[in-house]
Structure 1
């Protein structure tokens, strides 16, 4: 056995729940499973970064939008000229002597006249207004940090009024919610900042920047962020706390098709090195889903979020081959793939090696120093690294994947590499078959499978029951979901996750996808969590993920629950499934039973083998009508939690269309 596999096996053993410091012994009859089964997968799709997880309220704050992002877009998108008090002037998008070469666009304000009527005492100045993402939501008493870069090109130093305002209609001065004044001086770029307190709640707020003296002034990298963010790291708090409630063990990022350029080709590949420096120096990118990525959430923020939430980071890097959807390839008989010449592949090897150094290296290393200078001298302790994202497993892919894999594993045998089984990970699919062949040839630790299917698939398929138990390669189910978001779809996913849990010796990790979707900015449905500027709207599937995340364990028992008169689905599945999981580290026992039928069922539960159970447990039940759906207009489905008395032998009545979980503490 080679050195690299020894290291990988040691880490994987930890993932699978093997620990020399167990707090509780496991009774006979169980099997060790992964306690890392529930994670999350973040991809910037559905405007889930800017306008979503990014707490930034300003849209296009660096004026980098362009028609290549979306037809009709440009540096002035989300901005408008304002000239209260009959002021005059005009705007110019410029690129001469920019703030940074990676951030070439900025906005020039040519201020020709500032309102000065003899009897005029109201709103005045010339400047710009940003409307945010469908306006901005601010809250009374909360503080907002404003900043921008500016330089005074012509005329006297400029007093610049920064206002959070509530528009009141044409011809009327807006209501001031909070304001400050900044003096811009000197002809060189300089960053200015201030804190503004909102005077009242408002869901239609805007940001206004008004110069009060004539002349010429340039502005760039405009920002308005609430001080109240998740762990103070610029992440929208309510969205992050909704994710945190899942108890995810890991987070995969940054995609998805975003990783390798999606349908745009390899030129649009995500480059992590351009996302870890100061935000005004990051190189922004067209998003493959039809908008723009500011990179204000980059690799540093992803790793920081993992640390704040107690998740293992799982970054995914490209492997020299583009998405097969390039240039409309999804509909073509011979799907197109852009490829990197083998003579240039060392650059992509370095992309992986340098990432490991950035995440884990000492502050005296080249990339460890970059991490430290960004405010995180301690290493992030990266354990996992994904190479490739559901590419077609072509000969070109195989050659490039192996080239990277062999060099990275030789340099870092301690890193667990996650490979890919291509899109549509089912037996008989050539990509799936070739992906598994490569994984077994390389003794790969984990292989990533993806599939989106109708609810019936998740009801009937039990594919992991037949996976070989002697494989060294474990499964990461990295993208999956039923193709609708009704309660019956969520229950079908619960049935399938109970199957996955039963096979937790084969499947080590799972993550539903996509994760987030913005109202009025969604490209893919269904998604786990929807939101607007003001609220978060969890789906039925979200609550299933949350219940499984709350009930992770490292031992599985399949013979403690018997369901009377079970109904069989088509294929190998059942419309009722059960699982009993023990977490020896927390001394918690979980009993989960799902009934996805219209009939009441009875389950007999025997927990006599488990010692020291406390007599009162927490019961969580998700139930409703099968076509119920949580959306922006109504949230009819949510789990009901109560405290109940339990016994070692119990009979449980299972309501139609329900998923029930017991959390039992052991002494």
Structure 2
């Protein structure tokens, strides 16, 4: 995911601050130059410790012992024994499913009242007395002798206080797996997230009792009440930004990193291993080095997009593995077919045919041997009979790393996918125009991570691009460092931990250029989207969070200001100084007759501007939304509201005089006809 496309590698530098003492008059055209695509501003998601434990609402970490080595201490990560219980992860001879071969074997002394085990969650568990939690697990007895055991499930504070509790009794000779489902209603909210999920096992007899457990789960209320759904506060934050699309399932996390724990092509993200019962999702070691449960699967993604009124930009794996390995052309066919099935899951209307939903092969079948099976039928059987929206499919990710093999891979994937789905737009991920691709790409995905000054200096990057029908997706961009010579270094080298007003105003400057060129730039998304502050692998990020709180960065508010103040047609105007630090773009929302002026001041001095509007009737007042702060000001977990937008009423007219503060993003809206 996180690399520079070669078209930007040679253009470095930080823009010098320019004092704007004189008034700059901006004349606005009365005629729009082009329609602005509704998809212009959206979000790019990659699971970098931000799916499990983040957007996906599951609260237990290592819940199903996926992709771990039984019998090792690492297999017990985030689990601990309580009061004399013995616990170990075993390769179960009779597992709960073929996809989940491991279980937690627990032995407790007879008549124990406290023995059991606990899970610490994703660096904590948020306990809220206004919520009702859903807890579940599977259990069996490894021997056939008659058993009677009481299970008590609790939420506990770090001090040992019980915050919620529910119990059930299991008896008989349960040598086959049974599921326990309970609800937990806390009597009080915890003052912090240092809480645990606890299971106590109390045998009725005096002998030591052994129980096998599998597939634990703890869910709070979810966004839109979806089963197996999204964490409310994070999902609501993402929706608040006003995104129109969501790029998924990620950049690098789509691919394979052979150097990571011996991964092979089989460990790439596969849509059909992420749908159906959670018992049939084996998970995978993702390309950031930790296990993805795949509880956040294709269906959950697509339902979220519907609930959030976004459309997907969906990537398919295109035969390239991180580390430099590409599949030869004669081995691509089954992967192309799997990509067709992936798109068909979204779009196919067929709901016919018998499906064995809980068979492992159902989750791994490919269309090349489908028989009576249908991805559309699978989707329908899982509760969504109507096709999802799908207009854009991206072929691979950052294939400028494998430019020598991308031509045949792009040609074969697009050639076959376009035959099945001629209505889709296919996006190339190599450098623009290099190598030459056949067929000519309908769109390119461009990535750039740079300094704040670079973004201000490259506001006009797309102005020189040909208007030949080709479109562009600025799929990943962010100001990540103040040091042009060490962009990917450490904070001491200039790398940012959190976005700053300097970085965010530089990004805003670049975004005015994206809007001006939205006749060819159809979509743009900052990246990465999310970071868990207790397990961060890439900085800065748009939104930060822990187990109980969410932090909106200055760049989040910049994105929100642009996305929620988007017109439907672009109004040309006097162009900004290409060597300056103050930039603007002007659009019009025809349904409300509003003119929307976006201003980015990426410099350290205020700027005086005068906007001359070509309309005979302009309201005497308008609204101003202003985000501004000190050059290095950031929103952090310790100070989440250091810089937030403020809305006020300003005087307007045919000429609007405005002073843009240093390091600021300003939005002026006024009705004009």
Whole-angstrom distance in 2 between the partners of 1:583 and 1:67 = 57
* C-alpha spacing 1:248/1:291, structure 2 compared with 1 (3 Å): same
Bigger CA drift: 512-521 or 366-375?
366-375
**Alignment map for 1:524-543 (pairs within 5 Å):** 524-543=538-557
Bigger CA drift: 128-137 or 263-272?
263-272
1:377 paired to 2:382: no
Whole-angstrom distance in 2 between the partners of 1:257 and 1:352 = 17
Partner of 2:253, secondary structure, is coil
Structure 1 contact 576–594 (Cα < 8 Å) conserved: yes
Aligned to 1:473: 470
Aligned to 2:202: 212
Whole-angstrom distance in 1 between the partners of 2:535 and 2:601 = 35
Structure 1 contact 598–656 (Cα < 8 Å) conserved: yes
Aligned to 2:589: 583
- Please report how far the alpha carbon of residue 464 of structure 1 lies from its aligned counterpart in structure 2 after TM superposition: 3.1
- Please report how far the alpha carbon of residue 527 of structure 1 lies from its aligned counterpart in structure 2 after TM superposition: 0.8
Whole-angstrom distance in 1 between the partners of 2:142 and 2:413 = 49
- Please report how far the alpha carbon of residue 660 of structure 1 lies from its aligned counterpart in structure 2 after TM superposition: 0.9
1:162 paired to 2:171: no
1:519 paired to 2:538: no
Structure 2: give runs of 5+ residues left out of the alignment.
Answer: 1-28, 353-373, 481-495
Structure 1 contact 604–652 (Cα < 8 Å) conserved: yes
Aligned to 2:345: 358
1:55 paired to 2:49: no
Say which of 613, 622, 625 aligns to 2:630.
Answer: 625
Partner of 2:666, secondary structure, is strand
Tell me: higher relative CO, structure 1 or 2? Use CA pairs within 8 A at least 6 residues apart: 2
Aligned to 2:412: 403
**Alignment map for 1:158-237 (pairs within 5 Å):** 158-168=149-159, 174-185=160-171, 186-202=174-190, 203-213=193-203, 214-233=208-227, 234-237=229-232
Whole-angstrom distance in 2 between the partners of 1:525 and 1:494 = 18
- Alpha-carbon deviations, 1:145-192, whole Å to 9, x = none? 001111233441321111111132xxxxx2111111122342211222
Aligned to 2:121: 132
Aligned to 1:496: 510
* C-alpha spacing 1:217/1:317, structure 2 compared with 1 (3 Å): same
**Alignment map for 1:36-185 (pairs within 5 Å):** 36-45=39-48, 47-66=49-68, 74-83=74-83, 89-115=86-112, 124-154=113-143, 155-168=146-159, 174-185=160-171
- Please report how far the alpha carbon of residue 279 of structure 1 lies from its aligned counterpart in structure 2 after TM superposition: 1.4
Partner of 1:452, secondary structure, is strand
- Please report how far the alpha carbon of residue 574 of structure 1 lies from its aligned counterpart in structure 2 after TM superposition: 2.6
Structure 1 contact 94–107 (Cα < 8 Å) conserved: no
* C-alpha spacing 1:582/1:96, structure 2 compared with 1 (3 Å): same
Whole-angstrom distance in 2 between the partners of 1:649 and 1:458 = 29
- Alpha-carbon deviations, 1:356-385, whole Å to 9, x = none? 221111242511121122222221121111
Say which of 520, 531, 534 aligns to 1:506.
Answer: 520
Structure 2 contact 476–526 (Cα < 8 Å) conserved: yes
Structure 2 contact 139–178 (Cα < 8 Å) conserved: yes
Whole-angstrom distance in 2 between the partners of 1:254 and 1:215 = 43
Whole-angstrom distance in 1 between the partners of 2:218 and 2:644 = 34
Whole-angstrom distance in 1 between the partners of 2:615 and 2:215 = 62
* C-alpha spacing 1:200/1:132, structure 2 compared with 1 (3 Å): same
Whole-angstrom distance in 2 between the partners of 1:594 and 1:269 = 40
Whole-angstrom distance in 1 between the partners of 2:275 and 2:591 = 36
* C-alpha spacing 1:585/1:310, structure 2 compared with 1 (3 Å): farther
- Alpha-carbon deviations, 1:181-230, whole Å to 9, x = none? 12234221122211110111112211111111152221111011112434
* C-alpha spacing 1:306/1:496, structure 2 compared with 1 (3 Å): same
* C-alpha spacing 1:187/1:615, structure 2 compared with 1 (3 Å): farther
Whole-angstrom distance in 1 between the partners of 2:276 and 2:87 = 33
Aligned to 1:121: none
Structure 1 contact 461–573 (Cα < 8 Å) conserved: no
1:639 paired to 2:645: yes
Structure 2 contact 57–222 (Cα < 8 Å) conserved: no
Aligned to 1:30: 33
Whole-angstrom distance in 2 between the partners of 1:610 and 1:389 = 49
Say which of 236, 249, 254 aligns to 1:254.
Answer: 249
Whole-angstrom distance in 2 between the partners of 1:482 and 1:204 = 34
Aligned to 1:322: 321
Structure 1: give runs of 5+ residues left out of the alignment.
Answer: 1-25, 116-123, 169-173, 327-336, 422-430
Return the TM-score normalized by structure 1: 0.84
Aligned to 2:669: 663
- Please report how far the alpha carbon of residue 110 of structure 1 lies from its aligned counterpart in structure 2 after TM superposition: 2.4
* C-alpha spacing 1:465/1:340, structure 2 compared with 1 (3 Å): closer
Say which of 564, 589, 603 aligns to 1:550.
Answer: 564
Whole-angstrom distance in 2 between the partners of 1:181 and 1:470 = 67
What RMSD, in angstroms, separates the aligned Cα atoms of the two structures?
2.3
- Please report how far the alpha carbon of residue 466 of structure 1 lies from its aligned counterpart in structure 2 after TM superposition: 4.2
Aligned to 1:240: 235
* C-alpha spacing 1:277/1:576, structure 2 compared with 1 (3 Å): same
Whole-angstrom distance in 1 between the partners of 2:158 and 2:467 = 66
Whole-angstrom distance in 1 between the partners of 2:642 and 2:158 = 34
* C-alpha spacing 1:413/1:586, structure 2 compared with 1 (3 Å): farther
* Equivalences, count: 590
Partner of 2:93, secondary structure, is coil
Whole-angstrom distance in 1 between the partners of 2:85 and 2:419 = 65
Partner of 1:371, secondary structure, is helix
Aligned to 1:279: 278
* C-alpha spacing 1:348/1:586, structure 2 compared with 1 (3 Å): farther
Whole-angstrom distance in 2 between the partners of 1:554 and 1:316 = 27
* C-alpha spacing 1:614/1:149, structure 2 compared with 1 (3 Å): farther
